[in-house]
Structure 1
C-alpha cells in the first residue's frame, strides 16, 4: 500500500485487508511523507502483520508503490490503495489467478452501490472478461484507447514478476498499474478475474480520477504507454 494523507479512510481499508489475510501474511504500508495523521493511525493498529515504512521526502504515488513492491516479502503481492474496501474472498481469488499466470487483475465495484464503473468511452459497464485474458494485443490497444479497466488496487503479482516490473522505468510518472498490466499482457502472464474484489471509494483526492483530462495530458500518457510496451518487450524476453 502506498499511503499519503490518508487519515480519513486508511484505518477502514486496513481493517478490511486484515480480515482477509492469513497469519503469515503482511501488509507493507509505505507512507509518502504524509502531513496528516496517517502514520499515527497506522501505528495504532495493533496487528503484527502491519509493517510501516516511512519515506522522509514525498516521492509521489508511482515511486511509493515501487518501494512497497520491492519491500514486500510475500510469494504473491496484492496491491492496495489507502481508501478502498476489500471484498470477502479477494485474497483467494487473486492468489489463485496470480499463481497461475503471474499477473492478475480483477473487476471492482463502487463503494456504496456495488455497481461497476462505466467506460469513459462507451458508457457501458467497465468489466474485465476472463476469456480475454490472453488477448494480448487487443488488451494493449484498448489500454492505448483508454478503455481497459486495469486498476492497481485490483491487481496482484507473483514473486517472479517483481524482477520484470521493478524497478519501474524512469519515464513512468503515472499509471503504475498500466505498466504492470503491459508487462503482464506483453509476456502472456495476465489473468482476468471476473468477480469484483474491491469496493472503490471515489472522492476528490483519488490519485486516479474519472474526470476528463486535457488533450496534451492524454497524448503524453499515450506516448508513455507506447514506451512502456517497448520496455516491457525487453523485460519479458
Structure 2
C-alpha cells in the first residue's frame, strides 16, 4: 500500500484487507511523508502482519508503490490504495490466478456509487474480460490507446516477475498500473478476472484523474507508454538471454 494523507479512510481499508489475509501474510504500508495523522492511525492498529515504512521525503505515489512492492517477501503481491474497500473473496481469487500467470487484473466498482464504470469512448460498462487474457497484442494496443481499464488497486503480481518489473523507469511519474499491465502482456502471462474485487472510493484526492485530459497531455502520456514498452521488451530479452546462459537475475 502507498499511503499519503489517508487519515480519514485508511483504517477501514486496512480492516477489509486484514480480514482476508492469512497468519503468515503481510501488509506493507509505505507512507510518503504524510502531513496528517495517517501514521498514527496505522500504528494504532495492533496487528503483527502490518509493516509501516515511514518516509522522511515525499517522492510521489509511483515511487512509493515501487518501494512497497520491492519490500514484499511473499510469493504473491497485491497492490492496494489507502482509501478503497476490498470485497470478500479478492485474495483467494487473485492468488489462484497468480498460481498460473505472472500478473492478475480484476475489475472494480465504486463505493456508494454505480457498480459499472463508464469508459473513455462511451462504454456503459468499461471492464476487463476474461476472454482477452491471452490477446496480448490487442491488450498492448488497448493500453496505448487508453482503452483498457487496468487499475493498480485491482492488480497483483508474482514476486518472481520483479526482475522484469523493477526498477521502474526514471521517466515514469504516473501510471505504474499501466507499466505493470504492459509487463504482464509483454511477458505473455496475465489473467483478467471479471470479478469486481474492490470498491473504489471517489473523492477530490484520487491520484487517477476522473476528468478527460487535454490533447497535449494525452499525447505525452502515450509517448511515455511507448517508451515503457521498449524498456520492457529489452529487459525481457536480456533476462531470457541470461536464463539461457544460466545466470540468475
TM-score normalized by the length of structure 2: 0.93
Aligned pairs (5 A) from 1:152-191: 152-191=152-191
Give the CA deviation at 1:236.
2.1
Tell me if the contact between 1:114 and 1:199 (Cα under 8 Å) persists in the aligned partners: no
Provide the alpha-carbon RMSD of the alignment. 0.9
Partner of 1:30: 30
Deviations 1:97-138 (A, max 9, x none): 122111000011111145121102123211111111011111
5+ residue gaps, structure 1, are none
Tell me if the contact between 1:103 and 1:191 (Cα under 8 Å) persists in the aligned partners: yes
Distance 2:191 2:61 in 1: 24
Partner of 2:106: 106
Distance 2:163 2:5 in 1: 29
Aligned pairs (5 A) from 1:1-237: 1-113=1-113, 115-237=115-237
Distance 1:186 1:116 in 2: 28
> Number of paired residues?
237
5+ residue gaps, structure 2, are 238-249
Distance 2:177 2:206 in 1: 14
Distance 2:20 2:218 in 1: 37
- Runs (4+) of structure 1 moved beyond 6 Å? none
Distance 1:114 1:54 in 2: 35
Q: Which entry has the higher C-alpha Rg, 1 or 2? A: 2
Deviations 1:56-109 (A, max 9, x none): 000000000000000111110000000000000000111111221110000111
TM-score normalized by the length of structure 1: 0.98
